[in-house]
Amino acid sequence: MKSEEIGSFNDIYLKNIPIPVTYNGDEDYDKHDIGWQKTRRFAEDTKHRKGLVSWVKFVVTSWLACVLFVVTFNSKFCFNLSDTVLITLLTTTTVNILGLAYIVLKGLFQLHDSER
């Protein structure tokens, strides 16, 4: 089958789930059944994850651009940073990028207790 025929996860799965309309902040979740609560939580988690992914992409890209600028133009713009400072900058950048990616991916692809 072609991928166009199969469709995406969102097209197949989420289309059939009745996502609650809006949450006004005063609504009592306990008055709804467990299916509604799970669906609502799934929808909210998905929305927050999309925002988190966008934020991480922006932060990582911006930080890498700044580090690239400093490393590339260190001598040209008379930053005159020592080798120790440049090594520290590159090391901390690498650790931060890998750490952010790990945290985001771990949060997006969590294993439930039954899958461990």
Three-state DSSP at 80 gives coil
pLDDT at 4 over 50: no
pTM here is 0.56
pLDDT at 18 over 80: no
DSSP secondary structure code for residue 113 in this structure = G
Q: What is the pLDDT of residue 84?
A: 94
